[in-house]
Amino acid sequence: MAHRLTVIGTGYLGATHAACMADLGFEVLGLDVDEEKISRLSAGDLPFYEPGLEPVLRRGLESGRLRFTSSYAEAAEFGDVHFICVGTPQKAGEYAADLTYVNGAVDALAPLLRRPCLLVGKSTVPVGTAERLAETVARLAPAGGDAVLAWNPEFLREGFAVQDTMHPDRIVAGLPDEQGAAEHAEKVLREVYASMLAADVPFITADYATSELVKVSANAFLATKISFINAMAEVCEAAHADVTKLSEALSYDDRIGGRFLGPGLGFGGGCLPKDIRAFMARAGELGADQALTFLREVDEINIRRRIRMVDLARQLLGGSFIGRTVGVLGAAFKPDSDDVRDSPALDVAASIRAQGGKVTVYDPQAMPNARRAQPTLDFGDSCLDAVRDAHVVLLLTEWAEFREMDPVELAGAVSERNIVDGRNALEPEVWRAAGWNYRALGRP
Ligand code: NAD
């Protein structure tokens, strides 16, 4: 394996990709503009929570195959393949994606590329970005046509990032139109991913635009599935039906399937919300906005769950949060992650606080990020600490620690035994038997 890889942007995606590629035997140089991140990664200290990743990182460092830098000159000199893994967040006040970081990475790297190499975009970008960046590379790179760009969208899930990187469901390679460049890019990508291809992971080649669209349409589908079941939850609430039973019954139909069909507080995080909004914005620019109007509904159903959660809690407290204590369990947007970007849990906590409630939040891993994101909230050191003297307890992220809570032990800490299960993660009968007033989204 002759290829030396650089990974530009070492956040959730890039740090995982860099460590896993080193584990597969490649020499890897990770690059980030965040010096603190680089020094922590270089010391084997993962700057975020991801189960199973830190040992892979450390193994890479100890083997000498994995290093980190903030120098683009060093990366350009080192790499045969440059993976672009920088963030593409939502623009402030708009639906569109902010491409400042992707553009910045290519602008910084391209002028330094003095030998043949492949640039591989992994960030989630609006369709048309790869074609534009390929022109930038051709214009800026001294190596000219010897610097080729491919797009290889990433599908990993936080919480399962190592598993998903090592054993992806599929590998998508968006290739340039020019035949020679496309053949070269495909050959290099097949070599980089050889161990996965040997395990029969499907390898799909496409043009740039299709490859970019695979990623955003996958996220649009997943968001739609979640909002579909949450729309059913709204109807169940009106009809006094039970959405968890409904979802279970639907899940046995192979055509529907049970994954992403869990009713609750809805989706959040650094991907689904911003990706469906950027997709709508881009479709609008392309004159195809009508095709995606349903995604506006998907987004609104999702946001309505948060409002419903707050309403349900307020109702349990007799109509007002003022002078009332609320224990919030969960801050991360989902379990097994410390990511609080667009977190439904923190959104609900902040909204209750804004309505006069005294809110104390606890999360097993996301406390530092949550404190930074919502400094005016109170935080507890443990689950029991967060619910102490609470008039209502809200379960907003379904960590195993919360699923396994003992209702009797918790009852000893609270002021009133009111619980709202925002993730349909608890057994209602068990909680009711322990004297709790158990409520959940989409259930009678
Ligand atoms: P992140 O914010 O955790 O990491 C992005 C990193 O890029 C940061 O460390 C930042 O300092 C760095 N960066 C910014 N500008 C840079 C530059 N010019 N040069 C070098 N580094 C720079 O974001 P993330 O969650 O890792 O997401 C990265 C991309 O991957 C996004 O497009 C996202 O949509 C996509 N993605 C993320 C996931 C996920 O689960 N997090 C999954 C699939 C795809």
Could you give the ipTM of this predicted complex? Answer: 0.99
Provide CB contacts within 8 A for 67, sequence distance 6+.
28, 29, 30, 42, 61
Residue minimizing CA distance to atom 3 of ligand 1 = 11
**pLDDT score of 365:** 97
Domains delineated in the chain: 4-201 (3.40.50.720), 247-440 (3.40.50.720)
Pocket test for ligand 1, best of 12, 38, 369 (most atoms within 8 A of CB): 12
Question: 0.90 exceeded by the pTM?
Answer: yes
Under-70 pLDDT residues of the chain: 1-2, 143-145
**Other beta carbons within 10 Å of 320:** 11
* Nearest atom (ligand 1) to Cα of 88: 32
What's 442's DSSP letter? T
- pLDDT tens, 346-366? 999 999 999 999 999 999 999
Residue nearest to atom 25 of ligand 1 (CA): 12
- pLDDT tens per residue across span 220-257: 999 999 999 999 999 999 999 999 999 999 999 999 99
Kindly give the distance from the C-alpha atom of residue 10 to the centroid of ligand 1, in angstroms, as a whole number: 7
State the Cα–Cα distance between residues 148 and 81, nearest whole angstrom: 10
Indicate whether residue 81 lines ligand 1 (CB < 6 A). no
| Cβ of 96 below 6 Å from ligand 1 | no
What's the token pair of residue 138?
Answer: 């051709």
87 CA → ligand 1 middle, Å = 3
- Residue with tokens 């790499």, as numbered in its chain: 79
Q: Which atom of ligand 1 is nearest to the CA of 12?
A: 26
Nearest to 171 by CA among 119, 220, 122: 122
Whether residue 99 has its Cβ less than 6 Å from ligand 1: no
The answer to whether 360 and 342 have CB atoms below 8 angstroms apart is no
Q: How far is the CA of 73 from the centre of ligand 1 (A)?
A: 20
Rounded to the nearest whole angstrom, what is the distance from the C-alpha of residue 99 to the centroid of ligand 1? 11
Q: Which residue numbers are catalytic?
A: 271
Contact 204, 172 (CB under 8 A): yes
The response to whether residue 106 sits with its C-beta less than 6 Å from ligand 1 reads: no
Q: Is ligand 1 within 6 A of the CB of residue 104?
A: yes
Half-sphere exposure of 366 (CA within 13 A, CB side): 28
Mutate to test the pocket of ligand 1, among 86, 125, 160, 282 (most ligand atoms within 8 A of CB): 86
Query: E-assigned strands of 292-406?
Result: 325-329, 358-362, 378-379, 392-395
pLDDT of residue 444: 87
pLDDT (0 to 100) of residue 145: 65
CA of 14 to the centre of ligand 1 (A): 7
As a whole number of angstroms, the distance between CA 420 and CA 7 comes to 43
Phi-psi region of 19 (alpha: psi -120 to 50; beta: other; left: phi over 0): alpha
* Residues making up the chain, counted from first to last: 444
Selection from 364, 398, 358, 396 nearest residue 377 by Cα: 358
Tell me the β-bridge partners of 372.
Answer: none
Evaluate: CB of 201 within 6 angstroms of ligand 1: no
Q: What is the pLDDT of residue 241?
A: 98
* Six token digits for residue 18: 């860099």
Q: Tell me, using a 6 A CB cutoff, whether residue 100 lines ligand 1.
A: no
CA pair distance 52, 307, nearest whole angstrom: 35
From the CA of 275, how far away is ligand 1's center (Å)? 13
Cα 168 to Cα 378: distance, rounded to the nearest angstrom: 39
